[in-house]
Amino acid sequence: MKAAVCREFNKPLQIENLEIASPEEGEVRVKLDACAICHSDITYMDGGWGGSLPMVLGHEAAGVVVEIGAGVRHIQVGDHVLVTLIRSCGHCADCENGEPYICSTPFPIDEKSRLTSATGEKIGQGLRTGAFAEEVVVDQSQLVILPKNFPMDTASLLSCGVITGLGAVVNTAKVDCGASVVVIGCGGVGLNSIQGAALVNAAPIIAIDLVEEKLKPARSFGATHTVNPLVNDAVEYIRGLTIGRGADYVFVAAGSPRAFEQGLDLLAPSGTLVIVGMPPTGQKIAVEAGNIAGSGQRILGSKMGSTRLRVDIPKLVALYEAGRLKLDELITGRYPLEKINEAIDEVRADKALRNVIIFE
């Protein structure tokens, strides 16, 4: 099969022919129809999180099951499935506690990638998936069955960006109706935090970004107000909209420590800062600890929108089918695998929300 291989950080991906092994116990092989490009893939490509090379990145995918391993339950050949990076054992303390998205149980596929080069070289499956490729082999827990009439390019967006942004609002923070919400960063994840806030009837919903062009779609996704800190004082603007208190919730969808610190400045007493974006390894934030305690504020981390795949994905599919969840509007362009570097460059340059690789 063809795949885009990362062989050197900060370099373009290389299109290569790879061998993919048959699935082992509990694993499934999926022929992909689409894989969206996430900023997490780019952070890995740029060396922001380290890791061993070579590897195939890509983790927002959808396709059709073509082979199943022994012990696979509830999934059959021919099923249309969403492919995610969320891998869970179902029996560790985190899974038993209803938090499968932070399951830390090691899997055989973690130790031995199912991908090799034509010469037998081991090729890693980045972000537990390796979906910049025509096929993947993943654990069955990483899959959710989709309706067969659901468009695959649209479905791929549900794998990460949508559940991360929307889930941070609905699952992690559990925002109440009427609460004031600020979202910092209006890329794909931030826009989904905005539409998550709109779904729970938060008000006001204030979008913040340094790029004016990225603020334009924010209103169509549910923002009631937008502000560019390079043009207006964001603290003053938000306090003016919240009777001087600041926001009940601030979601930081940008992977920037400065954005996290700014989020605290925008927060009301007893408010909640939710860290959604993932900065490169080693970056830290400065926090005035006494202010947090004295104001009764909270700081939450949100991993993958606290998503329980088989609970949340069907709900999102239903919302999309009812016209209440914007997905198609997130897709800026569709590219063949051979043009993946062009598609990535557009995302890196903030010229696209989500570009999607389409496999023929």
With helix as H, strand as E and coil as C, how does 138-190 read?
EEHHHEEECCCCCCHHHHHHHHCHHHHHHHHHHHHCCCCCCCCEEEECCCHHH
28 with 97: CB under 8 angstroms? no
Q: What is the pLDDT of residue 360?
A: 83
Average the pLDDT over 55-82 and give the result. 98
Residue 225: what residue type?
H
How much of the chain exceeds pLDDT 90, in percent?
A: 95
Give the pLDDT confidence score for residue 184 in this predicted structure.
98
- Paired with 117 in beta bridges are 18
Q: Show the CA angle centred on residue 68, arms to residues 64 and 69, nearest 5°.
A: 155
**What is d(CA 207, CA 184) in angstroms, rounded to the nearest whole number?**
6
Question: What is the overall mean pLDDT for the chain?
Answer: 96
Q: Which residues contact 41 (CB under 8 A, 6 or more apart)?
A: 57, 58, 59, 126, 127, 132, 344
Predicted local confidence at residue 189, as pLDDT: 97
Furthest C-alpha separation in the chain: 66
In the chain, the percentage of residues whose pLDDT exceeds 70 is 100
Over the stretch 187-198, which tens digit does the pLDDT of each residue have? 999 999 999 999
Number of H helices, E strands in the chain: 12, 18
Kindly report, residue by residue over 1-60, the tens digit of the pLDDT: 999 999 999 999 999 999 999 999 999 999 999 999 999 999 999 999 999 999 999 999
Q: Are 33 and 80 in contact (CB under 8 A)?
A: no
Q: What does the alpha-carbon distance between residue 125 and residue 209 come to, in Å, rounded to a whole number?
A: 33
Closest Cα to residue 91, out of 102, 100, 78? 100
pLDDT in tens, 75-112: 999 999 999 999 999 999 999 999 999 999 999 999 99
Band of the pLDDT at 288, cuts 50, 70, 90? confident
Is 334 buried (19+), middle (13-18) or exposed (0-12) by CB count in 10 A?
A: middle
Count the neighbouring beta carbons within 10 Å of the beta carbon of residue 335. 17
Tokens at residue 222, please? 């549910």
Q: Mark out the alpha helices in the chain (DSSP H runs).
A: 39-45, 93-96, 108-111, 152-156, 161-167, 188-199, 212-220, 234-241, 257-265, 289-295, 309-321, 340-348
Q: Helix, strand or coil for residue 68?
A: strand
Residues 340-344: what's their mean pLDDT?
Answer: 98
Q: Secondary structure of the chain: what % helix, strand, coil (to 5)?
A: 35, 25, 40
CA distance 36 to 71: 29
Please tell me the predicted confidence (pLDDT) of residue 187. Answer: 94
Residue 66 host element (H or E): strand 60-68
Instruction: Measure CA 327 to chain center.
Output: 13
- Residues 325-338: tens digit of each pLDDT: 999 999 999 999 99
| C-alpha to C-alpha distance for 168 and 174, rounded to whole angstroms | 8
Instruction: Give the mean model confidence (pLDDT) for residues 132-144.
Output: 98
In this prediction, residue 304 has a pLDDT band, given cuts at 50, 70 and 90, of very high
- Domains of the chain, first to last: 2-159+326-358 (3.90.180.10), 165-302 (3.40.50.720)
> Given the structure tokens 């989500």, which residue do they identify?
354
